[in-house]
A and B are shown apart, each in its own frame.
Chain A
Amino acid sequence: MSDLDSLHDDELFGASTVEVRTSASAALIPTIRAVASDLAARADFDLDAISDLRMAVDEACATLVDVAAPSSILQCRFVVRPEQIRVLAEVSAAGSDSVVSTDTFGWRVLQTLADEVEVHHTPGTDGARPTVGIRLDKRSGDGSR
Chain B
Amino acid sequence: MTRADPEYGHLVPLLEQYAATDPDDPRREALRDQLVRGFLPVAQHIARRFAHRGEPLDDLVQVATVGLINAVDRFSPERGSDFFSFAVPTISGEVRRHFRDQGWSMRVPRRLKDLHVSINGVVSELAQQLGRAPKPSEIADRLGVPVADVLEGLEAAEAYRSSSLDEMLSSEQGSATVGELVGEADAELDRVDSRQALRPILAELAPRERTIVLLRFFGNMTQTQIADRVGISQMHVSRLLAQTLDRLRDRLDPDTRIG
Contacts and interface: CB of A to CB of B under 8 A. Distances in A.
Interface stretch (A14-22, A54-62, A71-79): A54-62
A16 to B, nearest CB: 17
A54 B195 contact: no
Contacts of A51: 223, 234, 238, 241-242
Contact of A63 (B130, B218, B222, B257): B257
A100 B257 contact: yes
B154 A109 contact: no
Interface of A, secondary structure class, is helix
Contacts of A34: 158
Q: Is the interface of B mostly helix, strand, loop or mixed?
A: helix
A104 B123 contact: no
A47 to B, nearest CB: 4
B135 A45 contact: yes
Q: Among the interface residues B147, B196, B223, which one has the most CB atoms of the partner chain A within 10 A?
A: B223
Nearest to B239: A51
A3 interface: no
Specify which of B133, B154, B217, B242 lies most central, judged by the most chain A CB atoms within 10 Å of its CB: B133
Contact of B258 (A37, A44, A48, A101): A101
B151 to A, nearest CB: 5
Contacts of B252: 104-106
Contacts of B136: 41, 44, 47
Contacts of B234: 47-48, 51
6 contacts: A41-B151, A47-B136, A48-B222, A55-B245, A103-B195, A106-B249
Interface of A: 34, 37-38, 41-42, 44-52, 54-55, 58-59, 62-63, 66-67, 97-101, 103-106, 108-109, 112, 140-143
